[in-house]
Amino acid sequence: MAAHFFGQGELHYQEPVVVRIDEASLRALGPWPWPRSYYADALWQLDQEAPAVIGLDLYFQTPDPENDPILAAALTEVATPVVLGTELVLEERTKFWTRRWQERGEIPSLFPTADQGYLNLLRDRDGLIRKWPLLPSSARPAFAERIYQAANGKKAPTINNGVLSFAGKLEAFPTLSFAQLLAGDYPQDFFRGKVVLIGVTVSNMDRHGVALSALGSVPGVYLHAYLYRNLVEASWLKPLPFSCLLPLLLGSTLGWLFLWRNRVGSLLLFATVGTSLLIIIIGLAAGLSGCLLPVPSMVGGLVGTSLFLLAASYRTELAERRKLKALFARYVSPEILDEILRRRDVINISGERRFVAVLFADVRGFTRYTEEHEPEQVLSQINQVLGEMTAIILRYGGLVNKFLGDGLMAVFGIPVWKEEIWTEVFAACQAIVTNKNQPTGDALAVGIGLSWGTVLAGSVGNQQRMEYTFFGTPVNLAARLEKMARPGEILFPLEANRTYPLPTESYTCEEVYIKGLSEPLLIGRIKEWG
């Protein structure tokens, strides 16, 4: 955080100088890997410029009989100190939540007499690099530590629980391509008295994710450059002293004691805003002082507090939310469920009157189909038909209330009725009767009855089994119309003062007698959707 807020300005370092093995160098010198003689030439070229130290961020693990002697001679004969990279064999050990790395050896070097430091970079569980690559059990220093020792003639500072500070962008470091180095294409005294690091920066090689997202994927040689700057400036991030967290703990405790009896929404709002402000203040102070917030401890404290709040408020808003979710999760799409939970103040599961559209759909000819086919085929077929209908209803914002043998009942308008639902209801009916994924032919076609109006909605049952359902004339009417619908038809009541979202020529008008109604009912019958 300190690097992000305080260190990402226009910094320009004098060293280390980064010599990039980049795409331009590959085009000029040929494909990777290169003969080791190229690195010998680079050492001889740099030695003429009298740098302080040369570091090779490269692994030399596969013998090159023709060119290894050339590089070995250069390592021995150049006057400038040269540090090679080596690789440790590490074993991860985890105890409870603590993660440690144990050294199990070192991959043999082809140049054992050369000065060396390990190049291993330690990733956290999320795959990002943020911690200092410190291995207390290793007799070998880290690559950046060995560079520091060679350049400054003294041991590198001891770092415990340090975190890398990424102050400055990658462009803050002076750079040159490897091809330019060999060609001598650089200003006079460009390298004199400076630390020089040579490493790969090609886009698909030796790239690492870091905790500071602004840097993107960082080449390994630049990570070692940051490590060196941290050592020179003592700028690595240190753990924040516990005493600095006391205001956060005190403020949070007083807030919880003051509001613990309030509704959970107010309490969570206060806790979130208050704690966030304290974290920002402490974070700014930590950034200015080069300290690191103990995020795991703070997160653990906040999580523990949140759990306490959730348990204390279980009988109020959280209990209601869980009950709503248990009732509706099986019937609606995730989007509608989210809206129901957001609007839970407008839903009364104990019983309320609501304006909805009710749809009954039934598979025609299923009894005959059952008699003519094997049970396994029957079950597979009805699951396919009902599954397709369910997917369509959910797609158009409906609630699948219940399955009725070879049919289903669905409701539109939960949690809130909107005028555009008229269009969605008829679109869902059209999609069901014209669905190409359903079995074709009258034998397994679908008949639909549709109605709308004010119903009584609420939960029925007991603690062992409870479901949310609907009662009223619109429900009964839709069920009656579904019984009257022939295969592929949609029946719905016609009202003089209502406009329907479909062309008038797409349906016929007729009067029918409905059981329970004293007068004939004018209905619309859609036989074929044009």
Which residue, 222, 237, 252, sits at the end of a domain? 237
pLDDT, residue 431, reads 92
Q: Is the pLDDT of residue 99 over 60?
A: yes
pLDDT digits (tens, 9 = 90+) for 380-422: 888 888 999 999 999 999 988 888 888 999 999 988 888 899 9
Report yes or no on 267 lying in a domain.
Answer: yes
pLDDT, residue 314, reads 58
pLDDT, residue 7, reads 46
362 and 509 inside one domain: yes
Show the domain range for 489: 332-526
353 and 265 inside one domain: no
Position with higher pLDDT, 321 vs 85: 85
Task: Let me know: does 2 contact 286? Beta carbons within 8 Å.
Answer: yes
Q: Distance (Å, rounded) from C-alpha 335 to C-alpha 322?
A: 16
Q: For residue 236, how many other CB atoms are within 10 A of its CB?
A: 21
Which residue, 189, 210, 237, sits at the end of a domain? 237
263 and 403 inside one domain: no
- The DSSP bridge partners found for residue 362 are 407, 447
- Looking at the structure of the chain, the number of domains it has is 3
What CATH number does the domain containing 389 carry? 3.30.70.1230
174 and 200 inside one domain: yes
229 and 360 inside one domain: no
144 and 271 inside one domain: no
Mean pLDDT (whole number) for 153-169: 82
Q: Is the pLDDT of residue 501 over 90?
A: no
248 and 209 inside one domain: no
218 and 299 inside one domain: no
pTM of the model: 0.50
Q: For residue 360, how many other CB atoms are within 10 A of its CB?
A: 24
423 and 514 inside one domain: yes
285 and 366 inside one domain: no
Q: How deeply is 220 buried, as exposed, middle or buried, from its count of CB atoms within 10 A (0-12, 13-18, 19+)?
A: buried
DSSP β-ladder status, 521-526 and 508-512: antiparallel
Task: Let me know: does 121 contact 133? Beta carbons within 8 Å.
Answer: yes
Output the CA–CA distances (angstroms, integers) from residue 376 to 132, 343, 373, 383, 407, in the order listed. Answer: 62, 42, 8, 11, 18
pLDDT, residue 137, reads 61
pLDDT, residue 150, reads 92
Lowest mean pLDDT among 404-408, 441-445, 449-453: 441-445
Q: Distance (Å, rounded) from C-alpha 265 to C-alpha 470?
A: 31
134 and 58 inside one domain: yes
Report yes or no on 320 lying in a domain.
Answer: no
Q: For residue 298, how many other CB atoms are within 10 A of its CB?
A: 18
High-pLDDT (> 90) share of the chain, %: 35
9 and 81 inside one domain: yes
Report yes or no on 323 lying in a domain.
Answer: no
pLDDT digits (tens, 9 = 90+) for 51-70: 999 999 998 888 989 999 99
CA 34 to chain CA mean position, Å: 39
Q: Which value, to the nearest 10 degrees, does the dihedral of the CA atoms of residues 20, 128, 32, 30 take? A: -40
Q: Burial letters for 259-287: b for 16+ Cβ neighbours within 10 Å, e otherwise?
A: beeeebeebbebbeebbeebbeebbeebb
